[in-house]
Amino acid sequence: MKRIVLVGYMGSGKTTVGRQLAEALGLQFYDLDWYIETRFHKRVPEIFAERGEEGFRDLERRMLREVAEFEDIVLSCGGGTPCFFDNMDYMNSLEGDTVYLRCNPEVLASHLKMARVERPLIKGKSAEELEQYIRESLAEREPFYSKAKHIVDVSLMDNFDKISITIDLLRKELGV
Ligand code: S3P
């Protein structure tokens, strides 16, 4: 049985890397945000708008406990998932691997500039505000992410050609 759970900041490539890793290993891929959206027939920004961040975190906590129990999967979490409740300890308690995709703030900012609108926490921020926000919240979140059983640096993955390098790094780290 294989279970690989990816955590990391928004824009670190969890979904892109997760999908390709699952394909390479013949595992089923799940993305927690997509799972929530499918179950509730709503986009994440709508859930934030209707229930507030607190309401979203509650749903996220419950849906994590549903999807993370599946076997032979690669699961990409939302950037905030490990940082609320005992979610990170819960993920580490499952049989399988947890991996923090670590990425520096400059690369995160460049990835996120294009994708601000779909992400309620950074929507409407200017480039400078975005960089500042990333720096501050990454510092707060790092202690949670760092509890993962493995850490793989993905700062090198500054364009799509380099995804395969990250997949190789991950497979080496996990021995899969
Ligand atoms: C969030 C990250 C998002 C999504 C929500 C909140 C966060 O997921 O869950 O917008 O708190 O960092 P991605 O990391 O996939 O963007």
Per-residue pLDDT of the chain (176 residues; tens, 9 = 90+): 999 999 999 999 999 999 999 999 999 999 999 999 999 999 999 999 999 999 999 999 999 999 999 999 999 999 999 999 999 999 999 999 999 999 999 999 999 988 887 899 999 999 999 999 999 999 999 999 999 999 999 988 767 678 899 999 999 999 99
Of all residues in the chain, what percent are helix, strand and coil, respectively (each to 5)? Answer: 55, 15, 30
Query: Relative to the CA of 31, which ligand 1 atom is closest?
Result: 15
Which single residue is written with the structure tokens 């179950």?
39
**Hey, whose CA ends up nearest to atom 8 of ligand 1?**
78
Helical segments of 31-126, H only: 32-40, 44-67, 87-93, 105-112
Q: How far is the CA of 173 from the centre of ligand 1 (A)?
A: 25
* Residue matched to tokens 């905030």: 80
Residues with CB under 6 A from ligand 1: 10, 14, 33, 44, 78-80, 119-121
In terms of Cβ atoms closer than 10 Å to its own Cβ (0-12, 13-18, 19+), residue 60 is: buried
Burial class (CB in 10 A: 0-12, 13-18, 19+), 170: buried
pLDDT at position 118: 85
Query: From atom 12 of ligand 1, which residue's Cα is the shortest distance away?
Result: 79
